[in-house]
């Protein structure tokens, strides 16, 4: 199975080139899908792309096109429990993980694949939302990158009106009662968010074209979508955010982008981390929502330009 070709899907008329997708297997026998886009010209290095919760590698084809045009190879992953990687519950629509540290098993396989394929160095990290949480933990475990750019990193979760302790307690109790694999209230419907929400009310993007693309993908590929999260995922995610908040900042240059209309992750946690990261800066977009890489073209270009400048400076 390791390295065997995997499917990579495209919508009719998709202007972006396909990735070379392939399978790997983690040390606990979970099968994962990775996707590699090669640099258009002589490569300046490689970018390890860590997507967010519910996402799949095809969603980043446009971002990969911009990065490969800039001279970088890109390697992205479907985290365990989502995309085409192995789902972890009988109900494949529910986001779940046994332990948050299990995502580091996926990172290990991603680094191994990048090494086996001799992806050009230096390597850099580009991470969104949950991928930012996984990425920060991976940096503490020695992820071999020269710099890191984060889009709305999940260094804390926006629980809205629910106190943090109450959410953690509910998840813990559900686990003790054998209900950790059941949907957590407030984590979203079992159906994928973009097919349930209207554009005007959505928390992800202000760009109607990007929203339509997400809707088209979800409608065309329902097997790759994900709905709400399990009690276990919520509890483990909150605990991981708390664990990381107590740790020092990594010793490498970094950038984090935050939208002024952010309602998915915690803006306070992001600002607090960047304030404690001497070689990092915060790039704020007052009118943006959660997905800055799927936002209006000018905001998307501004973030990618800043990330590319970071990568070039670190190299």
174 pLDDT tier (thresholds 50, 70, 90): low
Q: Is the pLDDT of residue 227 over 90?
A: yes
Residue 281, beta-bridge partner list: 255
Which is it for the CA torsion 261, 266, 271, 273, positive or negative? negative
C-alpha span between 176 and 135 (Å, rounded): 29
Burial class (CB in 10 A: 0-12, 13-18, 19+), 248: exposed
Six-digit token string for 152: 């709305």
User: Smallest Cα–Cα separation from 56: which of 124, 100, 5, 8?
Assistant: 8
Reported as a single tens digit per residue, the pLDDT across 284-299 is: 999 999 999 999 999 9
C-alpha span between 194 and 47 (Å, rounded): 27
SS (H, E, C) the chain: CCCCECCCCCCCCCCCCCCEEEEEECCCCCEEEEEEECCCCCCCEEEEEECCCCCCHHHHHHHHHHHHHCCEEEEEEECCCCCCCCCCCCCCCCECCCCCCHHHHHHHHHHHHHHHCCCCCCEEEEEECHHHHHHHHHHHCCCCCCCEEEECCCCCECCCCCCHHHHHHHHHHHHHCCCCCCECCCCCCCCCHHHHCCCCCCCCCCCHHHHHHHHHHHHHCHHHCCCCEEHHHHHHHHHHHHHHHCCCCCCCCEEEEEECCCCCECHHHHHHHHHCCCCEEEEEECCCCCCHHHCCHHHHHHHHHHHHHHHHHHC
Question: Which domains, from first to last, does the chain contain?
Answer: 20-314 (3.40.50.1820)
Q: Is the pLDDT of residue 126 over 80?
A: yes
Region label for 75, one of left (φ > 0), alpha (ψ between -120 and 50) or beta (otherwise): beta
Reported as a single tens digit per residue, the pLDDT across 86-102 is: 999 999 999 999 999 99
User: Smallest Cα–Cα separation from 269: which of 150, 146, 156?
Assistant: 156
Mean pLDDT in residue range 40-58: 96
Q: Is the pLDDT of residue 75 over 90?
A: yes
State residue 176's pLDDT score. 74
Residue 194, beta-bridge partner list: none
Which is it for strands 148-151 and 280-285: parallel, antiparallel or unpaired? unpaired
SS (H, E, C) 126-139: EEECHHHHHHHHHH
Six-digit token string for 251: 């010793």
State residue 41's pLDDT score. 87
C-alpha span between 7 and 33 (Å, rounded): 9
State residue 10's pLDDT score. 97
Six-digit token string for 287: 């009118």
Q: 210: which residues sit within 8 A by CB, 6+ positions away?
A: 291, 294, 295
Mean pLDDT in residue range 167-196: 76
């Amino acid at each position: 199975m390791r390295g065997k070709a995997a499917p990579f899907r495209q919508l009719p008329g998709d202007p972006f080139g396909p990735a070379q997708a392939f399978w790997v297997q983690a040390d606990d026998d979970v099968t994962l899908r990775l996707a590699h886009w090669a640099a258009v010209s002589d490569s300046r290095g490689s970018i390890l792309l860590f997507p967010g919760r519910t996402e799949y590698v095809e969603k980043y084809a446009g971002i990969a096109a911009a990065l490969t045009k800039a001279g970088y190879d890109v390697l992205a992953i479907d985290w365990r429990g989502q995309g085409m990687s192995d789902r972890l519950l009988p109900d494949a629509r529910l986001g779940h993980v046994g332990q948050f540290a299990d995502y580091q098993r996926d990172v290990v396989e991603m680094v191994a694949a990048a090494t086996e394929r001799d992806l050009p160095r230096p390597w850099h990290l580009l991470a969104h939302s949950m991928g930012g949480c996984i990425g920060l933990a991976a940096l503490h475990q020695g992820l071999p990158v020269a710099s890191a750019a984060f889009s709305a990193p999940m260094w804390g979760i926006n629980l809205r009106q629910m106190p943090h302790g109450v959410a953690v307690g509910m998840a813990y109790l559900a686990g003790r009662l054998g209900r950790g694999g059941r949907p957590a209230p407030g984590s979203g419907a079992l159906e994928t968010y973009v097919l349930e929400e209207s554009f005007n009310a959505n928390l992800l993007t202000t760009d109607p074209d990007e929203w339509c693309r997400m809707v088209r993908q979800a409608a065309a590929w329902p097997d790759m979508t994900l709905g709400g999260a399990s009690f276990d995922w919520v509890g483990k995610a909150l605990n991981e955010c708390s664990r990381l908040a107590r740790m020092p900042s990594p010793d490498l240059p970094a950038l984090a982008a935050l939208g002024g209309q952010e309602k998915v992750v915690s803006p306070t946690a992001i600002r607090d981390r960047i304030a404690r990261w001497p070689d990092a800066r915060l790039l704020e977009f007052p009118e943006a929502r959660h997905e800055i890489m799927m936002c209006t073209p000018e905001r998307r270009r501004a973030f990618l330009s800043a990330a590319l400048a970071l990568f070039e400076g670190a190299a």
